[in-house]
Amino acid sequence: MSAVDVAGRELKVGQLVAHTERAQYRGLKLSRVVKITAKMVEMDDKGKYDTAGTRREHSAVCIVEDIQ
């Protein structure tokens, strides 16, 4: 079974996704998917205190169209 976002669309590495902010869980942030595991999606938004990037469950992210 493949990983799907909250809308049921297949997640792939390199896609742009919206997810909740770190710690506060308020507001949304845009990030690129860098790794997909059986339960989690890892994104590239490493910050000052993050060395591993943000991780969220598949159903906690939503694919968005690429902004250019």
Note the pLDDT of residue 61: 93
> Each residue's pLDDT tens digit in the chain (68 positions)?
689 999 999 999 999 999 887 666 678 888 999 999 999 999 987 655 656 678 899 999 999 987 66
CB 21 within 8 A of CB 27: yes
Phi-psi region at 25: left, alpha or beta (left = phi > 0; alpha = psi -120 to 50): left
Structure tokens at 43: 């994104």
The CA radius of gyration of the chain, in Å to the nearest whole number, is 11
Write the CB contacts of 65 (distance below 8 Å, at least 6 apart in sequence): 16
Structure tokens at 11: 């997640």
Note the pLDDT of residue 34: 94
Note the pLDDT of residue 20: 84
Question: Is 10 in a helix, a strand, or coil?
Answer: strand
